[in-house]
Structure 1
Amino acid sequence: MFSKKNSRGPQQVPQKQAAPSILSADLVVNGNLVSEGDMQVDGTVEGDITSKKLTISATAVVRGSIEAEAIVIAGAVTGQVKARHVTLNKTARVIADVVQERLTIEPGAFFEGNCRHFPDQKPTEKRAIERIGAKPELASPAAVSGLKPSASPETKDKESHALA
């Protein structure tokens, strides 16, 4: 009568999500920063930054490479940016090479540099590329599918003349 029975099954303990690491606006860091969690930079960083999710606020200045799953930039970045999803807010000032899967640029953002799409390959494509021993960026769709690429029209003409 007074015993507590759990009709919902075993209790799941919620996993605590760590608060993001925040570098305040008056902080200057000379060196690299690495975090397995989220990070927000409000100050100045002279070095490389690696984290899960990275936010560069409007007051921040970063000189170096930044890499994360998702990066939101509202401040100044000079160097290289690499992430699956990169967002440049309207106050962003980015002079960098950007390697990304998805890029969002708000009107008013300043961006100078090169932009390359990060290859989004399926596991079967990766195995096919490894099997043929090619570099992923050099593998053609025909090579990935295992088919022999068709000859160009010029090659076909040369082959037909050679047979005649």
Structure 2
Amino acid sequence: MGILDRNRTHGSERAGNTVVAAGTKLVGDLTLSDHLHIDGHIEGTIRSEAEIAIGEQGRVEGEIEAERLYVSGSFEGSISARRLEIVAGGRVQGDVVVSELVIEPGGQFNGNSRIREQEAGSPRQLAHESKTAKPADKAEKDDQAATVSG
């Protein structure tokens, strides 16, 4: 299961592997805590607490929610994931909401993408409103001092 072992962390080693083989077609909703590798065709909603890999022969139409999604086959629909990686030969069409989006050379994405909202406890960008004025004032004073002494 080459693609399922990519970037595996110690926390995800507990998850098992579920495979939808080539020639298999599933229609409906699928919820799992394991890794999922798709070489067949799925129409519906897939939710996984782990990673999902759509193999070269795999095709998914619908909605995916996962921690990580690797696409080397084709996907059409909506994706919500922490990380989406479209590898060479992979095709994604639709709307994606992700924290990380990686498109390798040869991967295709056609649709809309949004950055996933930051989770509680994540670092946030600080407002620089009051700090911006002070350095500018200091810079003006430094310029004036240079002009007077020069």
For 2:122 and 2:60, locate their aligned partners in 1 and report how far apart those are by CA, in whole Å. 38
Structure 1 or 2: more strand by fraction: 2
Number of equivalenced pairs:
117
Equivalent position to 1:84, from 69, 82, 103: 82
Mapping for residues 77-116 of structure 1, pairs under 5 Å: 77-116=75-114
Is 1:37 aligned with 2:27? no
Structure 1, residues 42-66: CA drift from partner, whole Å, max 9, x if none?
1000111111211111101100001
Is 1:118 aligned with 2:121? no
Instruction: List gaps (5 residues or longer) in structure 2.
Output: 1-12, 131-150
> Would the alpha carbon gap of residues 124 and 49 (structure 1) be closer, same or farther in structure 2, given more than 3 Å must change?
closer
Q: Is the 8 A contact 2:15 2:33 kept in 1?
A: no
Q: Is the 8 A contact 2:85 2:103 kept in 1?
A: yes
Structure 1, residues 121-152: CA drift from partner, whole Å, max 9, x if none?
443889xxxxxxxxxxxxx966xxxxxx88xx
For 2:102 and 2:20, locate their aligned partners in 1 and report how far apart those are by CA, in whole Å. 24
Match of 2:9 in 1: none
Task: Please tell me the residue identity of whatever aligns with 1:81.
Answer: I
Identity %: 32
Task: Please tell me the residue identity of whatever aligns with 2:37.
Answer: Q
> Would the alpha carbon gap of residues 112 and 124 (structure 1) be closer, same or farther in structure 2, given more than 3 Å must change?
closer
Secondary structure in 2 aligned to 1:65?
Answer: strand
Q: Is the 8 A contact 2:37 2:55 kept in 1?
A: yes
Which structure has the bigger radius of gyration?
1
Give the TM-score taking structure 1 as reference length. Answer: 0.64
Task: Please tell me the residue identity of whatever aligns with 1:94.
Answer: V
Give the TM-score taking structure 2 as reference length. Answer: 0.70
Q: What root-mean-square deviation, in Å, do the aligned CA atoms of Structure 1 and Structure 2 show? A: 2.3
Mapping for residues 7-156 of structure 1, pairs under 5 Å: 17-51=14-48, 52-123=50-121
For 1:124 and 1:94, locate their aligned partners in 2 and report how far apart those are by CA, in whole Å. 28
Task: Please tell me the residue identity of whatever aligns with 1:39.
Answer: L
